[in-house]
Every structure is written in C-alpha cells, then in structure tokens.
Amino acid sequence: MAAPMKRLPELPAERTLKVIAGRWKAVILYHLFDGPKRLSELKRLAPNASQKVLIQQLREMEEHGLIIREVFPAGAAAGRIHGDDTRP
C-alpha cells in the first residue's frame, strides 16, 4: 500500500481531490456511509454507471486505503468505508 502514496501530491487538499476524483467515487462513498454494500447494490444505486467503471473506481479507492473490500461466503464482494474519520 506504500506505493500509491508516493504518487500522491504532498498537499493534503490536493491528495484528497486526487483520491476522490472520478465521476462515481463521490456517489459510491455517499452510499457506503450507510453501511457495507454489495457490488449489485451499488449498481442499483448508480444505474448509469457501468459495472466495469464501478469496479475500477472501487479498486482505486481500496488501493488508496479509502475503503475496505470484503468477500462474503456467496462470493459477492462488498465495500465499506475505512474507519469513521471520513464521515462529514
């Protein structure tokens, strides 16, 4: 996880904007504040986003430590916010 931090700007505001930049990241984070969601739930909540884009943006946020991916017994993945300190 140390490698992605090297590519981020030093200023906290710039770093934050780079990590959450993306058309669907804010929408994903908004819905994850309510609790863990499966990919299918996120797809239903953001119907205009393709599954490919959702997966890509979830992976980017996971890479930066913003969310945690959990795998449930049925094989479906879910995301949740990493810690409560990101809540407004």
Question: What pLDDT, in 10s, does the model give residues 10-51?
Answer: 888 888 888 888 889 999 999 999 888 888 899 999 999 999
pLDDT tens-digit series, residues 56-83: 999 999 988 889 987 766 655 666 666 5
Nearest partner of 39 among 18, 22, 26, 56, judged by Cα? 56
Q: Does domain 24-88 have CATH number 1.10.10.10?
A: yes
Higher pLDDT, 8 or 45: 45
The percent of residues in the chain predicted with pLDDT above 70, rounded, is 74
pLDDT band at 53 (very low <50, low <70, confident <90, very high): very high
Distance between CA 85 and CA 81 in Å, rounded? 9
Whose tokens are 């504040």? That residue is 33
- Class of residue 45 by CB neighbours under 10 A (exposed 0-12, middle 13-18, buried 19+): middle
